[in-house]
Amino acid sequence: MHDPTRLTDGPERPLLEYLLDHMRAELVDTVRGLSEAEARRRLVPSMTTSIGLVKHAAFAERKWFQHILGGLPESECDGAMVGEASFEVDDGETVADVVAEFERAGDRARKIAADVGLDDTRQHPVLGTVSLRWIYLLMIQEFARHAGHGDILREQADAATPTEARRPGGPSTSRP
């Protein structure tokens, strides 16, 4: 059955924006319905947690859209701008807090990118010249990868929960 909200053809920019928004939503879906303890549980040897993936994604939004594309100094971005520490979630932050932070960063990213052409470029201190098109593709790839990580963590969390106690909203099967 055709989903009228799914873009599969048309101009490049709306397709890129749709896929980026879709991957943002897929990543958030991996933590929906998890308890605070489940979202923070370390199920792999690294520091990666379900909530940490979303926290890191908020950092990536700020780095690429506010700092690189928007030209804001890191001190003027909406939150922490520390790479690997971006996976760390303070004890006082809830899943809802981190999701809201990610959604705010995404909203600001959309506003910053709205007046920038796909071929417009900015300078990255390590990578050199990058276009908005490249940033969109990078972020789609980044969020798709982390949504996949989140799906696996979600499967592990659900496997540790008795079948009768499982929540709806586990890993998504709606990837385009």
Domains of the chain, earliest start first:
12-165 (1.20.120.450)
Would you state the pLDDT for residue 78?
87
Please give the sequence-ordered ranges of beta strands (E in DSSP) within 26-127, or none if there are none: 121-124
Instruction: Give me the phi and psi of 32, to 5 degrees please.
Output: -60, 130
Rounded-to-10 torsion of CA 117, 103, 151, 95: 160
* Residues 118, 20 contacting (CB under 8 angstroms): no
Instruction: Give me the phi and psi of 44, to 5 degrees please.
Output: -135, 160
Would you state the pLDDT for residue 142?
97
Residues lower than pLDDT 70 in the chain: 1-4, 83-84, 162-176
Would you state the pLDDT for residue 33?
92
Residue 76: CB atoms within 10 Å: 11
pTM of the predicted protein model: 0.87
C-alpha 28/C-alpha 51 separation (Å) is 9
Instruction: Give me the phi and psi of 124, to 5 degrees please.
Output: -100, 140
Calculate ∠ Cα 16-102-28, nearest 5°.
75
C-alpha 20/C-alpha 139 separation (Å) is 7
Would you state the pLDDT for residue 163?
55
